[in-house]
Amino acid sequence: MVDHLANTEINSQRIAAVESCFGASGQPLALPGRVLLGEGILTKECRKKPKPRIFFLFNDILVYGSIIINKRKYNSQHIIPLEDVTLETLPDTLQMKNRWMIKTSKKSFVVSAASLTERKEWISHLEECIKHLLTKTGRQPCREHAAPWIPDKATDICMRCTQTKFSTLTRRHHCRKCGFVVCADCSRQRFLMPRLSPKPLRVCNLCYRQLLAEKKEEAEAGRRQAEPIRSAAQGYEPSSGDDSDKSDDEKAEQWPADTAFYTSEVSWSSFHS
């Protein structure tokens, strides 16, 4: 079907219609060989509350945005390369049914469909496109994924210290490494994670220590690999330049960093019941 629709007039018209709905705020979507396969409204589980979003499935990208006027105007366009996507089916909760997670290296989030059949169709088409694209490019499936953010309403207390209670004055924050909802005292550190952002991002205290340990371990591994080279070079004068090596106790966290919230049978609403 993709080969049949590619470079046809009807496909070009469909893509142009999507570009028109996003207007000047969206990016151009027409490319040689790109085919619009389907569209639909899914509920995206956002930080504050679930919200409807329009999704467009192409043979190489997934596009979604906010609905201003359905079929006429959308904004906040997001484009996800399908090569970077991994899917995970999730159990129903009291609030949301027919859920699954869209995981990428930069952002992961949960969506839900209006029916079980609709979810099966979305997942089937997505997996088929991803498989075809990976086969075509020879790439391996993405192994590293960004942590999805736990919704604000999932907990009334900090998920690290388990002491601070959130209120109008006590704000919720999200660790960009584990996605936990944490208080300010438990997330004062920032760490550079180039895969997610060119700027240092807020992380909880536990993840900060883990990231520092990983960075130190990587540096030591690099030095060990370089040691044979330095040993072999002893007795030789460098042609130019100099070589140089640059070389709080906190509360005990009670939430392990790798707790699988989204695959757990426990619903968010019963975390602290």
pLDDT in tens, 134-154: 998 888 888 888 999 999 988
- Going along the chain from its start, the domains and CATH numbers come out as 9-146 (2.30.29.30), 149-217 (3.30.40.10)
Instruction: Report the 10 Å Cβ neighbour count for 153.
Output: 14
Average pLDDT of 56-79? Answer: 96
- Residue 79: predicted pLDDT: 97
- Residue 140: predicted pLDDT: 86
189 pLDDT higher than 80: yes
| pLDDT tens per residue, range 211-236 | 999 999 888 888 888 776 565 555 54
One-letter amino acid identity for 51? K
Structure tokens at 103: 């995981």
Residue of 159, 177, 156 lying closest to 168 (CA atoms)? 156
Q: Is 188 helix (H, G, I), strand (E, B) or coil?
A: coil
- Residue 7: predicted pLDDT: 72
- Residue 110: predicted pLDDT: 96
More confident residue, 79 or 263: 79
- Residue 259: predicted pLDDT: 56
Average pLDDT of 66-94? Answer: 94
158 pLDDT higher than 80: yes
Average pLDDT of 54-76? Answer: 96
Q: What is the 3-state secondary structure (H, E, C) of 68-133?
A: EECCCEEEEEEEEEHHHCEEEECCCCCCCCCEEEEECCCCEEEEECCCHHHHHHHHHHHHHHHHHH
- Residue 94: predicted pLDDT: 85
Structure tokens at 164: 């601070």
- Residue 47: predicted pLDDT: 87
8 Å CB contact between 60 and 126: no
174 pLDDT higher than 70: yes
Average pLDDT of 247-263? Answer: 53
* β partners of residue 191: 201
Q: Is 255 helix (H, G, I), strand (E, B) or coil?
A: coil
8 Å CB contact between 96 and 83: no
More confident residue, 264 or 181: 181
Residue of 219, 206, 215, 213 lying closest to 253 (CA atoms)? 206
